[in-house]
């Protein structure tokens, strides 16, 4: 449900734009408000869950997410919808990292890769299935119902979580409130400047001030995290080459994925004349590959390691997006590149996530999950913001905006592949005496 709502509005954007009189920049905020609040509070939520109980915090997040969905459905103006989406993101921040923490605590390292592969496949299907479900609901009912459907699901999920999932906690950590404020202001400043750059002017006082605040807060965050004893993001983790590389790959992976779905769904409607449901349906060649490739990738992670899957997967996604950026006169011309993109993301997503989680000790799984999830959400917000500026600069809806934005997604994917090259390779080592096979991560 949380992953689905990342882009469930994608197929409804054209309808929302007409219904509420929104501009392209305002539409970006319906996605970015969710992603930003999601990213800003992930680490804080992970720390609260480790301290107060992951199941309890997880259920509270579901309750907040459900309540915010009701507010989204009742929105009659775009500012109200954006504000409600931001609150939804807060609830999502309490759910996603704790889901990973609960999962990591439930499986031993030798089975964690396959478990994370299933988890990544489900969340990936939800993200890519957002436009299809959003389109079907928008066309069959109204765009408000893409949020109403969360309510019964949320109520049932809360009951099941409290009844079926055992409580677990992580190492007791003090909340790094100063760090949370600093990183939140840093992210907000940088994304605000990027989103407003094209419309307000890249040299305007508003944009330059936003960037300056973002950079200063980011530097202050780094300095604070180095000196505090209860860092929200332990910088020592990033001395681990695999952890740093997998987080970088996850950032670019999500930046390319979220922005591509954001623009492709609108492309199907604006350029090919598809209705909302048909536009979501036309993305199925992309989505359907996750059902086939995702489980296979999860098993391959435990056999061959994460690096080859991340590199090959991101390279395939880059090829597919650059192919899509050439445009098409007929839909069938887009099927092959959509399949290639789907295969790429299906290989790379579970592998990058597994590398981030497996590169640190088991007791750090909660905070590792929070850091990785935060990077992914920041990537999604940054991707939509940056490629939104590219879209506007290239003429937007009446120019070559879609083509240039999708080409930008290809470039982001290539950066993800380069990041994947830095993930340490795995090799097999057999012990003496009893036959023992263990995975040894080189360079960590």
Give which of 378, 369, 371 is closest to 37, Cα–Cα: 378
Task: Give the residue-averaged pLDDT of 102-127.
Answer: 72
With 0-12 / 13-18 / 19 or more C-beta atoms within 10 angstroms meaning exposed / middle / buried, residue 105 is middle
The per-residue pLDDT for 434 is 38
Give which of 375, 367, 348 is closest to 97, Cα–Cα: 367
Dihedral over alpha carbons 320, 324, 326, 331 (to 10 degrees): 130
Residue 11 to residues 7, 21, 217, 379, Cα–Cα distance (Å): 8, 16, 35, 21
How far is the C-alpha of 358 from the C-alpha of 135, rounded, in Å? 37
The H or E element containing residue 230 is none
Residue 244 to residues 57, 122, 145, Cα–Cα distance (Å): 27, 25, 40
430 pLDDT higher than 50: no
Model confidence band, residue 174 (pLDDT cutoffs 50, 70, 90): low
Task: Tell me the per-residue pLDDT of 383-428, one tens digit each, with 9 for 90 and over.
Answer: 877 887 788 777 766 677 788 888 888 899 999 999 888 887 764 4
Supply the pTM of this predicted model: 0.72
Task: Tell me the per-residue pLDDT of 123-145, one tens digit each, with 9 for 90 and over.
Answer: 767 766 676 777 777 776 777 88
Other beta carbons less than 10 A from residue 226's beta carbon = 10
């Amino acid at each position: 449900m949380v992953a689905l709502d990342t882009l469930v509005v994608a197929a409804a954007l054209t309808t929302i734009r007409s219904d509420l009189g929104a501009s392209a920049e305002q539409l970006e905020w319906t996605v970015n408000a969710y992603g930003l609040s999601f990213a800003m509070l992930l680490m804080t939520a992970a720390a609260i869950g480790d301290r107060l109980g992951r199941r309890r915090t997880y259920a509270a997040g579901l309750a907040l997410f459900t309540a915010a969905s009701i507010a989204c459905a009742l929105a009659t103006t775009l500012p109200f919808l954006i504000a409600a989406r931001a609150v939804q993101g807060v609830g999502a921040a309490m759910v996603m990292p704790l889901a990973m923490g609960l999962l990591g605590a439930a499986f031993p390292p030798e089975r964690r890769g396959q478990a994370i592969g299933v988890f990544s496949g489900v969340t990936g299907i939800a993200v890519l299935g957002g436009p299809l479900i959003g389109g079907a609901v928008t066309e069959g009912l109204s765009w408000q119902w893409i949020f109403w459907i969360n309510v019964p699901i949320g109520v049932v999920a809360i009951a099941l979580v409290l009844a079926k999932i055992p409580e677990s906690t992580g190492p007791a950590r003090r909340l790094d409130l100063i760090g949370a404020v600093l990183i939140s202001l840093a992210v907000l400043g940088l994304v605000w400047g990027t989103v407003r750059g094209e419309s307000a002017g890249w040299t305007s006082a508003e944009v330059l001030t936003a960037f300056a605040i973002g950079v200063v807060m980011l530097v202050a965050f780094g300095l604070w995290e180095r000196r505090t004893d209860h860092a929200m993001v332990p910088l020592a983790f990033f001395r681990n080459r695999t952890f740093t590389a997998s987080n970088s790959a996850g950032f670019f992976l999500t930046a390319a994925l979220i922005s591509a779905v954001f623009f492709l769904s609108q492309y199907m409607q604006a350029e090919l004349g598809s209705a909302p449901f048909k536009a979501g349906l036309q993305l199925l060649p992309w989505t359907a590959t996750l059902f086939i490739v995702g489980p296979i990738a999860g098993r391959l992670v435990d056999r061959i390691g994460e690096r080859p899957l991340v590199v090959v997967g991101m390279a395939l996604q880059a090829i597919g997006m650059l192919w899509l950026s050439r445009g098409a006169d007929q839909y069938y011309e887009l099927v092959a590149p959509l399949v290639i993109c789907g295969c790429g993301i299906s290989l790379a997503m579970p592998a990058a996530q597994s590398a981030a989680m497996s590169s640190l000790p088991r007791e750090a799984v909660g905070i590792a999950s929070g850091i990785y999830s935060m990077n992914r959400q920041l990537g999604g917000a940054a991707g939509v913001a940056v490629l939104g500026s590219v879209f506007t600069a290239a003429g937007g809806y009446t120019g070559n905006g879609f083509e240039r934005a999708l080409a930008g997604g290809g470039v982001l994917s290539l950066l993800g592949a380069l990041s994947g090259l830095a993930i340490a390779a795995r090799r097999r080592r057999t012990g003496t005496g009893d036959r023992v096979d263990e995975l040894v991560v080189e360079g960590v």
